[in-house]
Amino acid sequence: MLSATALFVIVLTSAIKKQKQLVCSNIQVKIDYDSGLAFLTEAEIKDKINYMYGGSITGKPLSGIDFRLLEKTIKKNPFVSEAEIFVDQQQNVVVDIIQKRPILRVINNNGVSYYISEKNERIPLSDNFTPHVAIALGNVEMNTDTRRDSAVQAALYKLILFVRKDEFLNALVDQVYVHENGEMELIPKMEGQTIRLGMADEELAEKFEKLKIFYSEGLKKVGWDKYKTIDLRYKDQVVCVKRDTTNKL
């Protein structure tokens, strides 16, 4: 029994010694570019990790690498949603990153611009990449504490989530303008038309249902360029303003 115990200790000690001798072969960075996003580059992630380990992590003992600290540092990047760092069988340090997904770009009246993510996080602009998402303009307050989003930003988030889940609306809406009283106007991708939505409140689904019925049944008969304004703010009706054609040749 004692000899078996001694043998186990020897094997365990040998395994620990061997583990301490293992070194990092290389860094492999995997970013979810298949999502269509390119906020981050593999080079900047490698540079960040190498800087943390005195210029290069390659050749460093794996036992001396603080993987929790690496993950924590990478997750602090404003474009990173999730990060996982591990060692593969070839002793490569693998960095697996999922980027934050923007659903709306805000450009407020103070000239401040940022994105809102699908998790309602604020994302800064990037020199590497500009995603094609709807734009919100006008009176959008920006709090310094991101955990206390303004009522307007919360309403915008609710609105865009609703729009993105509907194939027709997602293809239609290009811009949102926020008035000082919090009411919103939608600017479709087709030029020269405005949709007055009002507040993004509990009647949002009803308003958009009216809009879809109006487009499919009303505008189909008179033409898409008949009206310059479509107003959804009133109960059980759509109020429209005709386009001025008196100046047309």
Q: Do residues 116 and 164 share a domain?
A: yes
Domain ranges, residue 123: 102-242
DSSP string of 127-181?
SS-----EEEEE-----SSTTS--HHHHHHHHHHHHHHTSHHHHHHEEEEEE-TT
* More confidently predicted of 196 and 218: 196
Domain count, the chain: 2
Q: Do residues 94 and 141 share a domain?
A: no
* Cα–Cα dist 211/249, whole Å: 31
> Is the separation of the CB atoms in 156 and 106 below 8 Å?
yes
Q: Is residue 16 part of a domain?
A: no
Q: Do residues 133 and 233 share a domain?
A: yes
Average pLDDT of the residues of the chain: 86
**Going along the chain, which residue ranges are E strands?**
26-31, 80-87, 92-99, 102-108, 113-117, 122-123, 134-138, 173-178, 184-188, 194-198, 227-231, 239-242
Q: Do residues 141 and 238 share a domain?
A: yes
Q: Is residue 156 part of a domain?
A: yes
Q: Do residues 81 and 107 share a domain?
A: no
- Least confident among 1-10, 107-116, 136-145: 1-10
Q: Quick one: pLDDT at residue 110?
A: 87
* More confidently predicted of 13 and 88: 88
Amino acid at 122: R
- Once rounded to an integer, what is the mean pLDDT over residues 111-128? 94
- From 75, 99, 123, the end of a domain falls on 99
Residue 62 CB partners (closer than 8 Å, separation 6+): 19, 22, 23, 24, 87, 91, 93
CA 82-111-229 angle, 5° bins: 100
Q: Could you report the per-residue pLDDT of 168-209, keeping only the tens digit for each?
A: 999 999 999 999 999 999 999 877 789 999 999 899 999 999
Q: Quick one: pLDDT at residue 193?
A: 87
Q: Do residues 156 and 204 share a domain?
A: yes
Q: Could you report the per-residue pLDDT of 60-74, keeping only the tens digit for each?
A: 999 999 999 999 999
Q: Do residues 48 and 171 share a domain?
A: no
Q: Quick one: pLDDT at residue 215?
A: 84
Q: Could you report the per-residue pLDDT of 86-100, keeping only the tens digit for each?
A: 999 999 999 999 999
